[in-house]
Amino acid sequence: MRRRKQKEDSEDDEEDEYESQDFQHLEMKEHNLSRPLWVLPNGHIFLEATSQFYRETTDFLIAIAEPVSRPRYIHEYKLTSQSMLSAVSIGRTFNDIMSALNLLSKNKIDEGLVRKIEEWTTRQGRLKLVLRENQYYLESPDQYLLHTLQQNPTIKEAVDRANLSLGEGENAIETVQVTTKAESLFQTLRSTIQQLSESFPNVPTTDPLHPYTDDVEIQREKAEYDAQASLIQQEQAQIDDDEFIIDEQIITFSVRIHQEYVDKVRQACETENHPALQEYDFIKDYTLPNLGIELRATSTLREHQEKALGKMFGGGRAHSGLIVLPCGAGKTLVGITAASTVKKGCIVVCNSNTSVEQWRHEFKVWSTIEDDRIISFTSKSKSNLPDSCVLITTYSILTFSQKRAQDSQLVIDQIKSRDWGLIVFDEVHALPANNFRRVNEVIRANCKLGLTATLVREDKLIKDLTFLIGPKLYEANWQDLQDKNFLARVQCVELLCPMSGEFYAKSLMERKRKQLLYSVLNPNKIQACEYLIRFHQARHDHILVFCDNIFSLKYYAGLFNTVPIYGGTPYNDRMAAINAFNQAEGTSTLFLSQIGDTSFDLPDANVLIQVSSHFGSRRQEAQRLGRILRPKQTGGEFNAFFYTLVSRDTSEMAFSAKRRSFLINQGYSYYSVDTFYNIPLIRSTPDIQSFAPQMHMQDPAERRKLLVMVISANEEEALEEKVGDEGSMQAERAERKTYITHGDGRREQIVPSSFQALGGGLMGRAKAAAPKRTHAPLFEQRNRQLKKERLLQADLRRQNK
């Protein structure tokens, strides 16, 4: 595990790699001033965010390319094989893409890149695995490809089995479906280019971001810009004529495959280098019973939610894939709308019991579904399934591999015995791929939707998601949502705290793992943290303090007489603290371990201070930022504050730089300051020092006491808390033991204290409840520490004299 973590941290993602090349000799096109894109031969695309065509061009780029970095003025995207798969899955074709790119690019597009795009789009887009009228088909416009694929033994077997099960008079192998080319092209490119043409006459003059001012020279340039815009408009009209008004026919061939082979056939197509996109023709599904669910008349989708769902349901079929929206942008409503559109049995899988309850609540708020049609299946709640329902459960329940409680097993058997219209994977990025495979084994779902805030994962397992669920269908731009007030406006600050001399000196004598404790409990960092807490308390803010190391978390929380929230916090204490935080009228402060990264709903939090974190994890940084992203009604330029406290000259500095990179690429700017007086918000606030005299760590005796405590801590105490599925599984195990069967067959539930210690079935680690293992190396280590402690005490006594 440890080794894996290190691997995650050391690995650099492909996103980070950037080939530096000389692009001075790009051939510029006519009217390049008003075209918004630079398309480089290496597939990187740069968008001028100041362009009048910014909005439409962004929609187009999001559909065909991976966002690399989107700061305020210039956005960078990258064309990749995966992004092309996503583009093809939502109906883009090579011609669509090239027409739009040629129109929008300032420079002529490199021939090599054009060939690459052609290869990506034609190879990947040619095959679909379609569920139509309750039969599975491999579908392609390329008849030869379908024949070739049938040479693969698995696909051949799947086709042969399907033929065996055909009824008399049914058509044998291939069927033909016809659509017009004009129709399909119209549906795709039209939306992009027509929107562009509509916006051409409106050259902005008052846009503050726009580079044009009153200067005479600039006015001349602007006139030229206007003239170019109308020329491009004509060019666009020309494209309409050439590309759209062709009433040609596209013929689609399909071959039927047996239902039992669906996953194997997908795998085989992948191996043959022709990944099959999954589509579900839910309108023509007459086998699965319908589910009575509609969105309420009062539920109005936001623009980004509509766009995401538009991609999922393009062409009247449901496309399996991933939707990426930042925390707080309304993924839950996207999932609920998808369920209300498909109107068949739906499973939602989330990562904690708390999330299960939240989803249940939101289904009731946004949709008309009857109460008895929403079933929560957790370690605490189990019931029989009606013929069609929304089932909300957790990953750990579905993937639990040991013997289950009898009533759990009954529910699992019911889940396995039927087909589901839709499965929604919440927080899809957080789970290992083998868990998804296990979920796939348990559930047969016709369409799969993965929801996530970030597709960043240090271990590259994210690529497996494309295979297991489907390509990315939509990814929102964080800054755009912030500008529209759908997200809070966050100021990010990294505060560098010098290591206090005695802590630094002693930490050098320790092994790497233990050094972490010295950096987290660095008295200067504690002071900075306390200062920020007191400052924001005075503003009546809702403050979250994150610390992944439990030993330190307890210390920080202790300074404020607060209960720390981590895996070992008893369930009732935990919920009481969270409820108090959410209901507080004035200020409130919560100290959390990494179980707070995703598990709890804390909508009012607007300040986050992290004193320790999981190495260089960009995903955790993004998740944590998400904790304060819920839109806020108040505030000036910024209404949420994200602080990372870093001990100078320690490994924390390198990790911090890596953690920030994801958010910087989302357009957030970080202030790095070396004293809290330089934090912009604090500098502009009067009376900033008024509470300084009451603060901890001013008395040398208190610092020494802390130093002794850190020295005497053992290495295990320097470790992070381990959270995730494991905790929930342990809860499930504990839960199994909580039943006794009486002589008359009656079962009675008992809640043992260890179960309480686990947090009553929520996330958390049994570590706190489990007895500590004792063995020789630990004794030796302890002895070494005692010796060090005695030496230090003597040292301190000498200094005091």
Tell me if 648 sits within 8 A of 607, measured CB to CB. Answer: no
* Positions in the binding site for ligand ATP (CB under 6 A): 300-302, 305, 325, 327-333, 453, 626, 630
Instruction: Report yes or no: 40 and 75 within 8 Å, Cβ to Cβ.
Output: no
CA 103, chain centre distance (Å): 33
The two beta strands, 128-132 and 135-140, are antiparallel
List the structure tokens of 236: 């666009």
What is the smallest separation between the CB atom of 627 and ligand ATP, expressed in angstroms? 7
Nearest distance, CB of residue 343 and ligand ATP, angstroms: 20
Write the DSSP symbol of residue 403: P
Residue closest to ligand ATP, measured at CB: 330
Bridge-based pairing state of the strands 346-350 and 419-425: parallel
CB 305, min distance to ligand ATP, A: 6
The gap between the terminal CA atoms of the chain, to the nearest Å, is 48
Q: By C-beta, is 67 or 626 nearer to ligand ATP?
A: 626
Name, in order, each residue with C-beta under 8 angstroms of 290's C-beta and a sequence gap of 6 or more. 343, 344, 388
Q: How far is C-alpha 538 from the chain's CA centre?
A: 33
C-alpha torsion sign, points 25, 30, 34, 37: negative
Measured from the CB atom, is 67 or 328 closer to ligand ATP? 328
The total of other beta-carbon atoms located within 10 Å of residue 38's CB is 19
Shortest gap between Cβ of 366 and ligand ATP (angstroms)? 8
Residue nearer to ligand ATP on the CB measure, 268 or 333 = 333
Cα–Cα distance measured from residue 435 to residue 438, given in angstroms and rounded to the nearest whole number: 5
Question: Smallest distance from the beta carbon of 690 to ligand ATP, in angstroms?
Answer: 35
Nearer Cβ to ligand ATP (352/515):
352
Least distance (Å) between residue 329 CB and ligand ATP = 5
Query: Torsions phi, psi of 425, nearest 5?
Result: -100, 110
Q: How far is the CB of 362 from ligand ATP (least distance, A)?
A: 7
Q: Kindly state the smallest distance separating residue 309's Cβ from ligand ATP, in Å.
A: 11
Return d(Cα 450, Cα 341) in angstroms, integer.
Answer: 16
Strands 419-425 and 588-592: unpaired
User: Closest CB to ligand ATP among 88 and 336?
Assistant: 336
- Closest approach, Cβ 62 to ligand ATP, in A, equals 17
Instruction: CB nearer to ligand ATP: give 453 or 706.
Output: 453
Is residue 431 a contact partner of residue 404, using CB atoms and an 8 Å limit?
A: no
Sign of CA pseudo-dihedral 640, 629, 599, 291: positive
423 - beta bridge partners?
Answer: 347, 448
Give the residue among 405, 404, 277, 426 at the shortest CA–CA distance from 346.
Answer: 426
> Angle at Cα 602 formed by Cα 597 and Cα 608, nearest 5°?
60
Question: Tokens at residue 632, please?
Answer: 């806020």
Non-local CB neighbours of 111 within 8 Å, separated by 6+ positions = none
Phi/psi at 661 (nearest 5 deg)?
-60, -40
User: Closest separation between CB of residue 557 and ligand ATP, Å?
Assistant: 23
- In the chain, the amino acid numbered 247 is D
H helix runs in 174-213, sequence order? 181-199
Phi, psi values for residue 433, rounded to 5° = -60, -35
H-helix segments, 639-750:
651-665, 680-683, 700-712, 725-736
- Nearest distance from residue 598's CB to ligand ATP, in Å? 7
Are 466 and 429 a contacting pair, CB within 8 Å?
no
The DSSP annotation for 538-589 comes to: HTT-EEEEE-SBHHHHHHHHHHTT---BSTTS-HHHHHHHHHHHHH-SS-EE
DSSP state of 259: G
Distance of closest approach, residue 687 Cβ to ligand ATP, in angstroms? 34
**Residue carrying structure tokens 């027509």:** 194
From the CB of 365, what's the least distance to ligand ATP, in Å? 7
Q: What is the 3-state secondary structure (H, E, C) of 106-143?
A: CECCCHHHHHHHHHHHHHHCCCEEEEECCEEEEEECCH
From the CB of 358, what's the least distance to ligand ATP, in Å? 7
Q: Shortest Cβ distance from residue 421 to ligand ATP (Å)? A: 21
By CB atoms closer than 10 A (0-12, 13-18, 19+), residue 195 is middle
Percent helix, strand, coil in the chain, to 5, is 50, 15, 35
Q: Would you state the structure tokens that stand for residue 760, as one six-digit string?
A: 């009553």
Count Cα atoms within 13 angstroms, Cβ side, for 31: 20
Any idea which residue has 């399934």 for tokens?
385
Measured CA to CA in angstroms, residue 87 lies from 66, 255, 304, 472, 590 at distances of: 11, 24, 17, 9, 43
State the nearest-atom distance from the C-beta of 543 to ligand ATP, in Å.
Answer: 18
Which residue, 309 or 333, has its beta carbon nearer to ligand ATP? 333
Report the amino acid identity of residue 462: I
